[in-house]
Structure 1
Amino acid sequence: MRTHRDSTARDTSTMNPVNVFQLLILAALWGASFLFIRVGVGDFGVAPLMALRVGIGALFLLVVLLARRPLRESTATLRARALPLLVVGILNSAAPFCLFAYAEITLSAGVTSVINATTPLWGALVAFVWLKDRLSALRSIGLVVGFAGVLMLVWDQIAAPSGTNISPATTALAAAAALGATLLYGVAASYTKKHLMGVDALTVATGTMIGATIVLLPLAITSWPATAPSMPAWGSVIALGVACTGIAYMLFFHLIAVAGPARAITVTFVIPIFGILWGALFLGERVSIGMIEGCSVILVGTALATGIVKRIPGFGGRRVSERC
């Protein structure tokens, strides 16, 4: 999962029932992206699938951007920030999308969506190392707890009988790829904060999707599948581009505007629920007790590491105000 937040103002807004429903729709869309990747990657391959995803998403967002602003103003901003937009496009879309697609050749959609929930953990850690953002003792504990949950989840996948010839090393490599994708999301968040402050979220999203498309297009052409992809695979890639990228980004930006970034980012906690649900319903994926336990530990760690939970009764002497 990938986010651009405006942290220059204090979040004083609230979420009404309509906003909560919109957040659930957003989580359902982003949770479904792991389902569609799982369906499409076998036919398309990694680079073609992701190039189509970001290309369709870029086209959708570009149309919205041009509908809201004059052509000259939109293109001037994109040209002026072309290099940082390209870098974020690689870090926040092209590379992590491909890593997730590679991971889903082996891992289930549900497991991959749970690993995606570690994105805020990496975001907090990278911001601490790079931007010198403060990490309290509670947030540090959250990092340890969250990554312990990842180990639990990966161990559950390695230990579980799969009925296939997939080796533990292959499973571990796929999990490492997914975790690498969330690390890149964390790096992208800090890079965006450092180099794209003041640029509105719609322009950042559009520019980065265009950049990601430029980077992935040559790879997609050279690795295009020799066999024509099936109709379900084409349906998956269209759903990825339009619903899980274009529409989902627009909904996320709307929630940031009306409810504030701190509340919008709580979508991270709901995405794994839908990722697991869609995988079980439509792909018949196994949902084990170990998987649920690992997911729960990751989400608890994320809540602590991001500052959403600011105080545990009996831990520390007073409540400390922190930025998410």
Structure 2
Amino acid sequence: MSTAQTTSPNPLAMTSFAWLQLLLLGAIWGGSFFFARVAVQVVPPLTLVLFRVAVAALALHVYLLNRGVRFWDYRHHAFEFAGLGLLMNVIPFSLLFIGQTVLGAGVESILNATTPIWTVVVAAILTVDEKVTINKLVGILLGIFGLVIMIGPGVLTGLGGPLWAEIAVICATLSYAFAGILAKRFKGVPPTVTSTGQMTASTLVMIPVVLIYDGVPAVTTIDTGVWLAILGLGLLSTAFAYILYFSIVRTAGATNASLVTLIVPVSAILLGTIFLDERLAAHDFMGMALIAFGLLIIDGRLMNVWQKRQKV
């Protein structure tokens, strides 16, 4: 029996380029709150989800056509695209919206930030190249604790909310975890095609959902500023963001890609400070430092350098 046959797959690691992609993705998804804040004042949430995925799907199809990529050539992935669209968009978006109706933003942010933990558990069970490590668990817990500190007293808002709402948010994070594992099945598919497929499937699912619950969207009543926010949400925070996400999953694994949920709140707070004149408090800096330290532990390079120096 050859060595290649007996050796288990190498664990997926974060390269410097993957870290840059992850930080950029966190910044982009943090910025999505700005676009959504503008649009949701006029557009019902479920209709906004439809606009978001439809704009992204259309833009990605145009991009593929301009690049000479035939999306039809990947039709044998139709079932996987549909599953990915449900797990990445339709199910979690709906559950998060339901949770938001009765839970405080602080509690929901904390629950959403547990996504990497669920992804570690699911990946350890369903994959052979993403096993649980002490570095990952310690780093993720530090990141969540840092997020709790950043939110501060606001985390207490909504603690009295119903259990079903908290379970809904947890189920949304589980959906993201399973979506990350499913995304690993597309290793031979370009991230742009994977993004296009799941966005197209999400659009087809959301059309009847919106017609049933919101009715036909009143597009003529939406002003230019709101449409610009919708375009920003669809093009930048969805189409381009998912290309980055699936690129990270393909090269670094689902667990590492899920770490973006620790970065998004930091990005949103920093963008609010820059563009909305919001002020950073001492607990914000402390929380960000803990999140950064947690990510450094997950990366493992500093620990490796320190261990090597200890041996010298």
Q: TM-score, normalised by structure 1?
A: 0.68
Letter paired with 1:140: L
Between structure 1 and structure 2, the one with the greater Rg is 2
Per mean C-alpha deviation after superposition, the further-off stretch among 30-39 and 91-100 is 91-100
Matched residue, 1:234: 227
TM-aligned CA distance change 1:117 to 1:65, over 3 Å: farther
Match of 1:308 among 270, 293, 299: 299
Match of 2:153 among 153, 156, 165: 156
Deviation by residue 1:49-93 (Cα, 9 ceiling, x = unmatched): 11110110011111112222353xx2131x211111111111112
Is 1:169 paired with 2:163? Answer: no
Is 1:82 paired with 2:78? Answer: yes
Partner secondary structure for residue 217 of structure 1: helix
Q: How far apart, CA to CA, are the structure 1 residues paired with 2:93 and 2:245?
A: 18
Q: How far apart, CA to CA, are the structure 1 residues paired with 2:123 and 2:41?
A: 36
Partner secondary structure for residue 137 of structure 2: helix
Letter paired with 1:156: P
Matched residue, 1:52: 51
Contact 2:85 2:198 in 1 (8 A): yes
TM-aligned CA distance change 1:284 to 1:125, over 3 Å: farther
Contact 1:117 1:302 in 2 (8 A): no
TM-aligned CA distance change 1:170 to 1:288, over 3 Å: farther
Once the two structures are TM-superposed, the CA of residue 142 in structure 1 deviates from its matched residue by 3.1
Root mean square deviation, CA, Å: 4.6
Matched residue, 2:208: 218
1:1-324 equivalent positions in 2, closer than 5 A: 26-71=25-70, 74-77=71-74, 79-101=75-97, 118-131=114-127, 133-149=130-146, 156-159=153-156, 167-170=158-161, 180-193=171-184, 195-224=185-214, 228-229=221-222, 231-250=224-243, 261=252, 268=260, 271-282=264-275, 288-290=281-283, 292-304=285-297, 307-309=298-300, 312=303
Once the two structures are TM-superposed, the CA of residue 243 in structure 1 deviates from its matched residue by 2.0
Q: How far apart, CA to CA, are the structure 1 residues paired with 2:131 and 2:72?
A: 37
Q: How far apart, CA to CA, are the structure 1 residues paired with 2:271 and 2:42?
A: 20
Unaligned stretches of 5+ residues in structure 1? 1-6, 161-166, 320-324
Partner secondary structure for residue 43 of structure 1: coil
Once the two structures are TM-superposed, the CA of residue 300 in structure 1 deviates from its matched residue by 3.9
Aligned residues: 294
Q: How far apart, CA to CA, are the structure 1 residues paired with 2:60 and 2:269?
A: 28
Once the two structures are TM-superposed, the CA of residue 218 in structure 1 deviates from its matched residue by 1.4
TM-aligned CA distance change 1:46 to 1:60, over 3 Å: same
Letter paired with 1:274: S
Letter paired with 1:40: A
Contact 2:107 2:159 in 1 (8 A): no
Letter paired with 1:216: M
TM-aligned CA distance change 1:36 to 1:291, over 3 Å: same
More helix by share: 2
Per mean C-alpha deviation after superposition, the further-off stretch among 200-209 and 126-135 is 126-135
Matched residue, 1:4: none
Once the two structures are TM-superposed, the CA of residue 210 in structure 1 deviates from its matched residue by 0.6
Q: How far apart, CA to CA, are the structure 2 residues paired with 1:207 and 1:24?
A: 24
TM-aligned CA distance change 1:179 to 1:43, over 3 Å: farther
Partner secondary structure for residue 299 of structure 2: coil
Once the two structures are TM-superposed, the CA of residue 255 in structure 1 deviates from its matched residue by 8.5
